[in-house]
Amino acid sequence: MPTPVESHDEARKRLSARMDALEAERAPKQSTAVQALSGDGFRFLGEVVGGVLGGTGLGWVVDRFANTQPLGLIGGLLIGTGFAIFVAVRGAAERTKKAMEEAGPLPSIPDDEND
């Protein structure tokens, strides 16, 4: 008995479903912690680079309008670097606080009073 011929749309749907299942099986399994850390790393890099470049750009603008050629650029670079460090340290402190809250209290170690 000959097999019934299926339409092209049905065959495409079956093939698409099988390909999706294969891709899901082969996809690298990353935990949410790894994804969060990579996002935090890119955020940190953006804050540092953005702070330095933003300060340098503002210093350059001050130089162009106030005609104080190297002083505005140097000052903007220093202010931007300081701001980038401040933002990076603040962000790291916030992420550390959040991680400690998620971890819960540390286990206590009993005192050894007999020593």
Query: Using 50, 70 and 90 to split pLDDT, how confident is the model at 9?
Result: confident
Q: Domain for residue 37, yes or no?
A: no
Based on the structure, what is the number of domains in the chain? 1
Is residue 77 domain-resident?
A: yes
Identify whether 58 is part of a domain: yes
**Integer Cα distance of 95 and 89 in angstroms:** 10
Residue 72 belongs to domain spanning: 51-99
Alpha-carbon torsion (85, 88, 90, 92), positive or negative = negative
Q: Quick one: average pLDDT of 36-43?
A: 78
- Report the C-alpha gap between 77 and 84 in whole angstroms: 10
In a domain, 61, yes or no: yes
Task: Scan for tokens 């206590």, then name that residue.
Answer: 108
Residue 29 included in any domain: no
- 103 versus 65: the higher-pLDDT residue is 65
Q: Looking at the predicted structure, is the pLDDT value of residue 36 above 90?
A: no
Tokens at residue 110, please?
């009993």
Assess if residue 59 is contained within a domain.
yes
Greater pLDDT, 1 or 47: 47
